[in-house]
A and B are shown apart, each in its own frame.
Chain A
Amino acid sequence: IQMTQSPSSLAASVGDRVTVTCRASQHINTYLNWYQQKPGKAPNLLIYAASSLQSESPSRFSGSGSGTDFNLTISSLQPGDFATYYCQQSHSSPLTFGGGTKVEIK
């Protein structure tokens, strides 16, 4: 299953609402997870099962979608949110990740 993220990068300001999109090449129900990765660090699980907020993830992060189209939304971008975001399907092996979306400071 191929996972396609868009955009590959975006520039935004603190306080902006930001949406990242992930599209699966076939139907994956809601078996979709989102991760945040900062430079030199391991990824951190933000959202699982498309819309469930992982414990300790801030409530400004939300996920939506099912089937083939999914979104990660940051309601009000904070300084610590500048990072790269990855989607990952957990529907079937081989597990696959999207190419990543780098969120940069405008």
Chain B
Amino acid sequence: QVQLVESGGDLVKPGGSLRLSCVASGFTLSDYYMTWIRQAPGKGLEWVSSISSSGDIIYYADSVKGRFTISTDNANNSLFLHMNSLRTEDTAVYYCAKRQYGDYVGFDYWGQGTLVTVSS
């Protein structure tokens, strides 16, 4: 069955870096559009970044552009989020999510989330 497992969340100081990983099973990552979505404590959902199935189309939220980088490792069926110059407002649970097949559709599978805390 389809499963997404995130890891890499940690406590980091402002200005620090972190790499989040999302290992996919039950499907081939390179066949689907993948996304990172975050949720600050007690707040709503915020889209962070997406990568197309081919890897040639990438989008970032303005709040993370220039600081975060999304990437994939197809050999290991894994998705990554490289986070630099972290700010206190980046504190959140980060989810990876798989988009349904097709365009303009929803996210049908989500990981359990990994907590990133940015604090001095």
CA separation between A43 and B110, bound complex, in Å? 7
| B86-113 Cβ-contact flags toward A at 8 Å (1 or 0) | 0000000001000010001111101111
Count, chain B residues at interface, CB 8 A: 20
- Flag whether A61 is at the interface (Cβ < 8 A): no
Tell whether, in the assembled complex, residue B47 and residue A33 are in contact, meaning their CB atoms are under 8 Å apart: no
* Contact A94/B110 with A43-B45, A86-B45, A99-B44 known, Cβ cut-off 8 Å: no
* Contact A42/B104 with A86-B45, A94-B61, A94-B62 known, Cβ cut-off 8 Å: no
- Flag whether A45 is at the interface (Cβ < 8 A): yes
Which residues of A sit under 8 angstroms from B106, Cβ to Cβ?
33, 35, 45, 47-49, 54, 88, 90
Tell whether, in the assembled complex, residue B50 and residue A95 are in contact, meaning their CB atoms are under 8 Å apart: yes
- Flag whether B10 is at the interface (Cβ < 8 A): no
- Flag whether B59 is at the interface (Cβ < 8 A): yes
Chain A positions 47-70 with a Cβ under 8 Å from a chain B Cβ: 47-49, 54
Which residues of A sit under 8 angstroms from B111, Cβ to Cβ?
42
Count, chain A residues at interface, CB 8 A: 25
Interface of A is mostly: loop
Q: Which of A45, A49, A97 contacts B45 (CB 8 A)?
A: A97
Tell whether, in the assembled complex, residue B110 and residue A97 are in contact, meaning their CB atoms are under 8 Å apart: no
- Flag whether B46 is at the interface (Cβ < 8 A): yes
Chain A positions 30-49 with a Cβ under 8 Å from a chain B Cβ: 31, 33, 35, 37, 42-45, 47-49
Which residues of B sit under 8 angstroms from A88, Cβ to Cβ?
45, 106-107
Q: A42-B95, A86-B44, A95-B47 given. 9 additional CB < 8 A pairs? A: A33-B106, A33-B107, A47-B106, A48-B108, A86-B45, A90-B104, A94-B61, A96-B47, A97-B46
Binding site for B on A (CB under 8 A): 29, 31, 33, 35, 37, 42-45, 47-49, 54, 86, 88, 90-91, 93-100
